[in-house]
Amino acid sequence: MSTIFSKIRDKEIPAEFLYEDEEIFAIKDIMPQANIHILIIPKKDIPTLNDITKSDTQLLGKMMLVASQLAQHFGIQDSGYRLVMNCNGDGGQTVFQLHLHLLGGEPLRGSFGN
Ligand code: AMP
């Protein structure tokens, strides 16, 4: 299925690529929710987290690695950051191409689990 992210991946829509390899790319979020808000996106068509299979585990791990490297690149590794992956309606997913949000550069509100 075509999405805004598959069009960016295919260079049909312009975007500033912060990272790109054969499997993953990263762009700045167009409506940032924090000073730093980056999206890490697999090139493979995967609509939601429900659609991953065992064969995607390395890809998912690489997305985390790229997020960590981008956090270091933008100098927020010590101040801290948050990774978010939304799934379907209640999760707040609006673009149905799997993506990981990297948020930081300021204190983030609404932490979970404490
Ligand atoms: P989600 O709600 O988890 O599906 O996140 C989708 C994100 O994509 C939102 O934070 C949007 O601001 C962002 N977004 C939508 N269109 C674009 C675009 N053309 N370039 C960059 N980010 C976008």
Check pocket membership of 29 for ligand 1, CB cut-off 6 A.
Answer: yes
Distance 8 CA to ligand 1 centre (A): 11
* Alpha-carbon torsion, ordered 103, 59, 21, 2, to 10 deg: -80
pTM of the model: 0.97
Residues 76-114: tens digit of each pLDDT:
999 999 999 999 999 999 999 999 999 999 999 987 665
What is the model's pLDDT at position 55? 98
- Per DSSP bridges, beta strands 36-42 and 17-20 are unpaired
73 is catalytic: no
